[in-house]
Amino acid sequence: MIKTETNKICDTLNCRKTKLRFAMGDIFHHQKIPISATEIQQILKDKGIKVNKTSIYRELKFLTKNYILNEIQINGASKYEFNTKNKKSYLICTKCHQIVPIDVNRKVLEEETKKILQKYKFTIHRHSLIFFGHCDKCQQNHL
């Protein structure tokens, strides 16, 4: 399934089908929260795939430029996730950097987004809904 999805993406973008692309497709398919290039490199290393960080960054740039991945800035660091129709939303603690996926009423969000786009005559390629603050643990520990 994942290999098929990666094949479709490569066919659509008319790009090479590389071992790194398939490995990263597998990683992003199984991720529930956005991850960094360093985390990707560690996951690949754990799977016995040795790749330098420059190749990972090059691939992330390519996939982001072609709207396959979303890049999210979290505390000054780039993290990435699949750009899917089922948009994900998160709570992010600015103290401990915990990322919590949350459920949002998609119908209401889509209706409001549509109104905004019509009002401002704007076309979007991607969007994300992220709330930054302090998690319960950090609030209790006064970090």
CA 76 to chain centre: 15
The answer on 94 and 60 residing in a single domain is no
Query: What does the pLDDT read at residue 16?
Result: 82
Distance CA 45, CA 56 (A): 12
CA 6 to chain centre: 16
Asked if residue 21 lies in contact with residue 45, where contact means CB atoms within 8 angstroms, the answer is: no
The answer on 71 and 7 residing in a single domain is yes
The answer on 98 and 64 residing in a single domain is no
Query: What does the pLDDT read at residue 2?
Result: 60
Run of H or E residues at 5: helix 2-13
Distance CA 54, CA 138 (A): 35
Distance CA 92, CA 72 (A): 11
Identify the CATH number of the domain in which residue 44 sits: 1.10.10.10
Which one of 84, 103, 119 terminates a domain?
Answer: 84
- Domain membership of residue 134 as a residue range: 86-143
Query: What does the pLDDT read at residue 78?
Result: 93
Q: Which residue has the tokens 């302090």?
A: 134
pLDDT in tens, the chain (143 residues): 466 777 778 777 888 888 888 899 889 888 888 999 999 999 999 999 999 999 999 999 998 988 888 898 887 889 998 887 666 788 999 899 899 988 888 788 889 889 999 999 998 876 778 899 999 999 998 75
